[in-house]
Amino acid sequence: MAIKLLSDEVINKIAAGEVIERPASIVKELIENSIDAGASLINVRILNGGIDEIQVEDNGAGIEHDQLTTAFLRHATSKLAREEDLYAIGTMGFRGEALPSIASVSRIELYTKTYAAAGSKCLVEGGMIKKLERYPTAEGTKIIIRDLFYNTPVRKTFLKSPVSEGNNIYDTVCKYALAYPEISFVFDNQKKTQFKTPGNGILRDTVFTLFGSDMNQFLIEVDEKGSQFSLQGLISKPEYKRNNRKLGFFFVNKRPVKSPILNRAMDNAYRGLLVSREFPVFFLSLTAVPESIDVNIHPQKSEVRFRDEQTVIRFVSGVVKNIWIPANFG
């Protein structure tokens, strides 16, 4: 059989399969774009678990009118110019895959305005730009995703119930609100506001908004600056325990990540204080020089690889264990 290059349309749909697993993956990508645009307010609204509609509105930098067509092209990004940049990534996005992937499996309505120029409105359907016009709108970007997977019916059958997809989105918005206490996140589900974080830069206030005061009184501050890494955040006193890891949050260079390595460090730190099947609550932000980590392992960037795993484990568990020394633990 003849060997041929795939068409852009097919390539986009394949990538959409990797980047866009479910509505929550779209929310994640759009929030990351808003963060990269320097927003201080991000409003996420969903209908029917995000299957019917996802709206993400920010007050960030906006997109220039003549850049809009490019934004929807594969591997088009304003964030990465040279290969070297790949080893020192300072933004959430860099692969230029989110917008074309989302666009290839949904209908998009986008409003955007930069500081300097008039606004724009753009309609995209199944990856094709259907309309692009000047349009008066607020500074920042508002993007509305409708009819997810309308043109890939098989993918649609893999979606869970709207409640379950909605819960997943709830968790996603929470994670970013915790990673970015300096940004106010508003989450509306079925036109009802579920939470609005203060955006005052204080993690404890964000935790209070999301989880209430009962937990808050059991949390202690962590703030340690080392030469290679630093660690900031909140951890629970050993008397406060959970029966799963769900409330253990790690952020590495402000990116929410799942990390068996960091879990091991925390297990280590609470050894002797918690028994098996008991887990702490924590919201921990690890800062590392970009060269010491690799986030480009997976299209969704939810995993991170450390150059030197043992050093990270030693640092994190060392910092936390130090807190249990009686003189430090009031």
Residues in 31-50 at the binding interface with ligand ADP, rule: CB under 6 A = 33-34, 37
Rounded CA separation 26/117 (Å):
27
Rounded CA separation 101/92 (Å):
16
Judged by CB under 6 A, which stretch of 56-64, 149-157, 191-199, 314-322 contacts ligand ADP?
Answer: 56-64
Residues in 61-80 at the binding interface with ligand ADP, rule: CB under 6 A = 61-63, 71, 76-79
C-beta of residue 73 within 8 angstroms of C-beta of residue 186: no
Rounded CA separation 52/26 (Å):
13
The least distance separating ligand ADP from the CB of residue 58, rounded to whole angstroms, comes to 5
Judged by CB under 5 A, which stretch of 10-18, 92-100, 110-118, 163-171 contacts Mg ion?
Answer: 92-100
C-beta of residue 252 within 8 angstroms of C-beta of residue 286: yes
The least distance separating Mg ion from the CB of residue 153, rounded to whole angstroms, comes to 26
Under the binding rule (CB under 5 A), the answer on residue 98 touching Mg ion is yes
Using CA of residue 178, residue 301, residue 69, residue 66, what is the dihedral sign?
positive
Q: Which helix (H) or strand (E) holds 192?
A: strand 192-196
Judged by CB under 5 A, which stretch of 90-98, 162-170, 186-194, 213-221 contacts Mg ion?
Answer: 90-98
The residue at minimum Cβ distance from Mg ion is: 93
Structure letter (DSSP) for residue 7? P
- Per DSSP, the three-state class of 285 is strand
C-beta of residue 45 within 8 angstroms of C-beta of residue 105: no
Residues in 12-31 at the binding interface with ligand ADP, rule: CB under 6 A = 29
Residue 77 site contact among Mg ion, ligand ADP, none (CB < 5 to 8 Å, cut-off depends on kind): ligand ADP
Under the binding rule (CB under 6 A), the answer on residue 96 touching ligand ADP is yes
How far is CA 312 from its chain centroid? Answer: 22
Please, which residue, 20 or 235, has the CB nearer to ligand ADP?
Answer: 20
Rounded CA separation 221/219 (Å):
7
Under the binding rule (CB under 6 A), the answer on residue 254 touching ligand ADP is no
Residue written as tokens 């068996």? 260
Pattern 14-43, Mg ion, x by CB under 5 A: -------------------x----------
Q: In residues, how long is the chain?
A: 330
**Residues lying near ligand ADP in the complex (CB under 6 A):** 29, 33-34, 37, 58, 60-63, 71, 76-79, 93-99, 141
**Residues lying near Mg ion in the complex (CB under 5 A):** 33, 93, 98
